[in-house]
Amino acid sequence: MVPDFQPVLGLPPLAEGPEAAAMAPLCAIFRRFLKSRQLKYTPERADILDAIIALNDVFEVEELMLEMRKRDYRVSKATTYRTIKLLQEAGIITQALFDSKQSHYQLIYGKAPRDYMVCVKTGRHVEFTNDELVDLRNRICSEHGWEAVGHRFQIYAISPEGRKESDEVTE
């Protein structure tokens, strides 16, 4: 772990597995980003980053806050939303738009691209990977002289369950 990082009691310590390897570099990256903005790496910001790494999935801010409260983290709603914005600006998380009702976020730094199919009827989402998408992304970037560093691809469709719901309503 990064020397100054002292997680508050709550979420389990990230001392083992791939999360442990991710935590130290992410803390360092976030610290450097905050320093470049003349902001401090506070215990609350560390707790939020720690909780996001522990979740390791798509999340809503309200869901993150509930999980943190269950584990005795004391972070205000305002601090959480400000930190989410800073983590986005630092390139550590991104917004994953699954529906128009609620913003979802996911950890992206150091992760392989995650692509999704989203049912517009049920809101259900399915994660998938496709090497052809990565090849296409790289080829398009190369054609324009750009260097690909990631991507987000979402397909909006109607799942079999969504079709059933529609059929039941029309009957």
Q: Domain coordinates of the chain in residue numbers?
A: 1-111, 112-171
Q: Is 147 left (phi over 0), alpha (psi -120 to 50) or beta?
A: beta
| pLDDT band at residue 132 using 50, 70 and 90 as cut-offs | very high
Instruction: Return the residue matching tokens 């800073």.
Output: 86
Paired sense of beta strands 115-119 and 125-128, if any: antiparallel
Report whether pLDDT(77) > 70. Answer: yes
Residues 86 and 30: their CA atoms lie apart, in Å, by 9
Say what percent of the chain tops pLDDT 70. Answer: 78
Report whether pLDDT(116) > 70. Answer: yes
Report whether pLDDT(31) > 50. Answer: yes
CATH architecture of 112-171: 2-Layer Sandwich (3.30)
| CA 67, 22, 86, 144 torsion-angle sign | negative
| pLDDT band at residue 23 using 50, 70 and 90 as cut-offs | low
Q: Please say whether the structural domain 1-111 has been given the CATH code 1.10.10.10.
A: yes
Report whether pLDDT(12) > 50. Answer: no
pLDDT (tens digit per residue) in 43-52: 999 999 999 9
Q: What is the pLDDT of residue 79?
A: 95
